[in-house]
Chain A
Amino acid sequence: MNTEGFNFPWLLKMAWRDSRKNRSRLFLFISSIILGIAALVAIYSLGDNLRQNIDDQAATLIGADLALSGNKAVEGKVKDLVDSLGVERSEERSFASMILFPKGGGNRLAQVKALEGNFPYYGELETIPVTAGKTFRNKKEALVDQTLMLQYQAKVGDSIKIGEVTFAIAGILQKAPGQTGLTSTVAPSVYIPMRYLNQTGLMQKGSRIAYRYYIKYAPKTNVESLVKNLEKRFEAADLDYRTVQSQKEDTGRSFKDLTRFLALVGFVALLLGCIGVASAIHIYIKEKINLIAILRCLGVKASQAFLIYLIQIVGIGIIGSVLGAILGTAIQQFLPVVIKDFLPFTLTTDVSWLAIGQGLAIGTLISILFSLPPLLSIRKVSPLNVLRASGESATIERDPVTWLLYALIVLFIFGFSFLQMRTWIEALVFTVSILGAFLVLFAMASLLMWLTRKFFPTSWSYLWRQGLANLYRPNNQTAILIVSIGLGTALICTLLFTQGILLTRVNLSTSGNQPNIVLFDIQSNQKEAVLALAKEQHVPVNQSVSIVNMRLEEVNGRGPSDFKKDTTDEQSARIFGREYRVTFRDSITSSEKITKGKWEGIYKNDGSLIPISLEQGFADRSRVKLGDTMVFNVQGTMMSTVVASLREVNWGEVQTNFLVVFPKGVLEEAPQFHVMLTHVPNPEASAKFQQSIVRQFPNISIIDLALVLRVLDDIFNKIGFVIRFMAGFSILTGIIVLIASVLISKYQRLQESVLLRTLGASRKQIFTITALEYFFLGSLASLTGIILAVAGSWSLAKFSFEAEFKPEIWPVAVVFFFVSLLTVLIGLINSRGILSKPPLEVLRQDV
């Protein structure tokens, strides 16, 4: 006798035999997790390929072994230091400037890069013609970004005017190290040889120029350790540095965030699928109770019976995961098309075995984990069930271990989200939100059943009563359908709402008489002439602001070196490395509100500390408080200040907003430039005004907000597409879970529908009952989902985007009707099978 052991081969055989007649159903159960796994494998593969590509192409991202950057030209000892580095060096000076295409008269703000040396040492400036990337350096020629060339329909050989100099266009710039499709749209680059830079006349005092030095080392040099030794000297000279390794880490980090976010979206799809699996297995096992009882009579141990079905679940879990992994790997081939504009490197897609392994492991684990609560009940099936009268329905006892499993499931969700988010708080918020949504939907389902039973409309016609009663009668699918449909709807609506919130913010900025042109880098001696030009062309100047550049030297008597020594103050040390653009005025603007302290608009010049105002968020991030003292360096003059007030700034409005504001009476004589905000009524007037400014004042830069908004819109669309693509998995999973749930309920409703037909109910009557039941379910589920989405989006709007939230009615109404109708439709299609066959045939099939 072999009943002492598990007799595993026999268990396998039984699992296989028992599955034969249920395979299509088992596949249906597991199909709900296929898409979730596919989403995860696609995202993990993408992450894996990104990492691999970044590793392979890191050197071409930076174009050299070491890049140093600062906001002033290196001189003296620092220059000697830079000149002593590596075996070859290049210098680049870049700044924003208007460029003019004399042929068509078009002008636009571009990033001008004056280059000296043979940069890039790794990768190349990809141009058409190919040789242009090398030849332009020796002539009065420029490389112009392809977006600019396209916009102004320029050709190679045409000319381009930058400041006072006209260059011939040597080639179209397609790709430069570190440049993405997006950066070339926002700030297209123009390369010119360094030796013509002075002639352009754009190197005036106050111009914001970035200086970069690219250094190539001999092969096999350990650049990292060399740089480590020089770190202090670079810092002393205010030079930032990047190495291939640091560039690799930085780039990797940003894309890791993206893939983590997308993996979470995929995980939601998987969770949704798991709910479907759990509910399907629950019904499946309920139907198997009699068979299990027979097995128990024949001498099968409870644990063996449990294992037979566990083996089936593991089997379909693996099959589902394999199918998901194949689908995910296929989808992954298309993801680069979606995100290529965000990438500074070429993305190649290889099959990622690591991602496939992760997908298989998660899929199998999660299908087992979610099937275990219903499977556990097998252990409680008594052999006595076989002696029961056939009409008596068997019941399953709830196992206390089930609660332990629920805890494990919650732990798994938390653990998974923690792995994606890496912070306890965010993982907790995610887990609680998901659980909260489940609970709310489950509570709604229970409430619906309770209300229907309690206030049952006995006066309604039979068909309505029957359809309504199906919601709470035994074997109803109310809870699972409301949870799965509701969650799917909540996801779709949250995406719609979020997109709406973001777009409303952008549109607000562009409506009415809000400024749509920003002029900056206006020198003090040009200010009056620009104002006169604006008046002449009837362009109103909404705002004119003076800006003084300065650097921070001390906070509360401590300099950057003091902060760096104190590792706990890492955040604060960063406030020293940057240049501050500061304005001075005697009042606050409409987009500002004093939150702490007192606004002081005039400095009495009595030798006391200068009272300044800081933006609230900046103060928080920098850990600077009211009353702290700060010393600023304004072109060599030290200014001792005290934080007199903190301001809340609405950055959403088109205004010149500042982190630091000085009072009047201090900076009037300091070197400064000016920014003006204007509103031009139409594109023609805008083009005319911009052209006049560029011709008369080549150093003045113009930002055309209409153009910026178009770019933003493009970015939103692209990001939106990525998110919609991923959310699509959840939505599709929701539909599959819906189909599976409805199909399962078909088995549940089979006897009853057949009986009704036997008693003479027409097809139409049974259809009506079914349609009504699914309409009640679909409409309540989608309504609850929408309410959840409104609550979620409202909190997102309030706490995350700090924007007003006004949900649009029409798209929501469309979602409501679509989901309700889809539920009814799937319910009806599934019932069709039963109704088209004679009752006896159906009865005999379901022994």
Chain B
Amino acid sequence: METILNLNQVGKIYQSGSRSLTVLDNINFSIDTGSTLAIVGPSGSGKTTLLGLCAGLDRASSGLVELHGTKLNGLSEDQLAAVRNQYIGFIFQNFQLMPTLTALENVMVPLELRGERNIKPRALDLLDKVGLAERSHHYPTQLSGGEQQRVSLARAFSNKPKILFADEPTGNLDAETSEKVVKLLFDLNKEAGTTLVVVTHDLDLAAKTQRIIRIKGGKIISDAPTGLQVSAL
């Protein structure tokens, strides 16, 4: 199986005046293309920081992050932006839709950025898949939390990403809506064959992935297929 993401001895240290705070220390793992993975851990364990490093949103203080064969460490901000646009999709806890754009426009932006043409039918198709075709011209403020997250799903899949990062995708949703959104996420992912990395402290959601990495205090404390983890719990 081909590797899409590889982290080798990755560390992240924040400098605050003369004091330094180690948030991540000696992180090593790799992810196979098309697989699903959950990163779990308590609040403040460094899981969101880890996601930021994997997705090229932040730079590691040490070690190597390699995404789809590209070493992220040496890239400029603009080169990182290009990598994100080409290979990565995002889903955030607080949806992060652009409030001044309609649902349809939010979905179209990643495609427009790539300079693709005739993208409207594709964006509408995605909105249809998440059940929001009728609401395509609504602004985020006119949508409920669950609806906003579904638009965010459609946007994440619009540029056919190689890898999708989801940061607490159900953190702001109620149980019933969460279930629907999670089902949609995994269905769309399966259909597109995308690699999925979910950061969460919801163990039920984590259990739906193939592999779980547990971190605590900035270190990986376990890394095993889901079946083994669940049985170990």
**12 sample A-B contacts, Cβ–Cβ < 8 Å, listed by A number:** A3-B82, A7-B115, A10-B112, A14-B109, A17-B101, A18-B101, A294-B98, A297-B96, A300-B81, A302-B78, A384-B52, A384-B57
What is the CA–CA distance of A17 and B108 in the complex, to the nearest angstrom?
Answer: 12
What is the CA–CA distance of A300 and B101 in the complex, to the nearest angstrom?
Answer: 16
Q: Is the interface of B mostly helix, strand, loop or mixed?
A: helix
Q: B19-27, B86-94, B183-191: which lies at the A interface? A: B86-94
Q: Which residue of B lies closest to A386 (CB)?
A: B96
In the bound complex, residues from chain B placing their C-beta under 8 Å from that of A386 are 57, 90, 92, 96
What is the CA–CA distance of A386 and B139 in the complex, to the nearest angstrom?
Answer: 19
Q: Which residue of B lies closest to A383 (CB)?
A: B57
Q: Which residue of B lies closest to A2 (CB)?
A: B115
Q: Are A1 and B85 in contact (CB under 8 A)?
A: yes
B41-62 CB contact bits vs A (8 Å, 1 = yes)?
0000000100110010110000
Is there a chain A Cβ closer than 8 Å to B99's Cβ? yes
In the bound complex, residues from chain A placing their C-beta under 8 Å from that of B48 are 387
Q: Is the interface of A mostly helix, strand, loop or mixed?
A: helix
Q: Are A291 and B100 in contact (CB under 8 A)?
A: yes
Q: Are A1 and B110 in contact (CB under 8 A)?
A: no
Is there a chain B Cβ closer than 8 Å to A565's Cβ? no
- CB within 8 A of A299: which of B101, B110, B167? B110
Given contacts A2-B114, A300-B113, A383-B57, contact A295 B96 (CB under 8 A): no
Q: Which residue of B lies closest to A297 (CB)?
A: B90
Q: Which residue of B lies closest to A293 (CB)?
A: B96
Q: Are A298 and B100 in contact (CB under 8 A)?
A: no
Is there a chain A Cβ closer than 8 Å to B128's Cβ? no
Is there a chain A Cβ closer than 8 Å to B84's Cβ? yes
User: Top 10 nearest A-B pairs by Cβ distance?
Assistant: A299-B85, A2-B115, A301-B78, A299-B84, A21-B100, A18-B100, A3-B82, A383-B57, A847-B141, A294-B96
Q: Which residue of A lies closest to B94 (CB)?
A: A390
State which residues 436-485 of A face B: CB under 8 Å. Answer: none
State which residues 146-176 of B face A: CB under 8 Å. Answer: 155, 167
B47 CB to nearest A CB, Å = 10
In the bound complex, residues from chain A placing their C-beta under 8 Å from that of B85 are 1, 3, 298-300
Q: Are A3 and B100 in contact (CB under 8 A)?
A: no
What is the CA–CA distance of A328 and B66 in the complex, to the nearest angstrom?
Answer: 60
State which residues 60-87 of B face A: CB under 8 Å. Answer: 77-78, 81-86
Is there a chain B Cβ closer than 8 Å to A185's Cβ? no
Q: Are B82 and A298 in contact (CB under 8 A)?
A: no
A307 CB to nearest B CB, Å = 13
Is there a chain B Cβ closer than 8 Å to A22's Cβ? yes
In the bound complex, residues from chain A placing their C-beta under 8 Å from that of B140 are 847
Is there a chain B Cβ closer than 8 Å to A845's Cβ? yes
Is there a chain B Cβ closer than 8 Å to A296's Cβ? yes
What is the CA–CA distance of A297 and B57 in the complex, to the nearest angstrom?
Answer: 7
Q: Are B86 and A21 in contact (CB under 8 A)?
A: no
What is the CA–CA distance of A384 and B101 in the complex, to the nearest angstrom?
Answer: 21
In the bound complex, residues from chain A placing their C-beta under 8 Å from that of B78 are 301-303
Q: Are B139 and A299 in contact (CB under 8 A)?
A: no
In the bound complex, residues from chain B placing their C-beta under 8 Å from that of A18 are 98, 100-101
B122-142 CB contact bits vs A (8 Å, 1 = yes)?
000000000000000001110
A258 CB to nearest B CB, Å = 47
What is the CA–CA distance of A19 and B96 in the complex, to the nearest angstrom?
Answer: 18
B216 CB to nearest A CB, Å = 19
Q: Are B101 and A1 in contact (CB under 8 A)?
A: no
- CB within 8 A of B81: which of A3, A22, A290, A384? A3
**13 new A-B contacts at CB < 8 Å, known A19-B100, A21-B99, A291-B98:** A3-B113, A7-B115, A17-B101, A20-B100, A21-B139, A298-B90, A298-B113, A299-B86, A300-B113, A301-B81, A302-B77, A386-B96, A387-B92
A264-297 CB contact bits vs B (8 Å, 1 = yes)?
0000000000000000000000000011001111
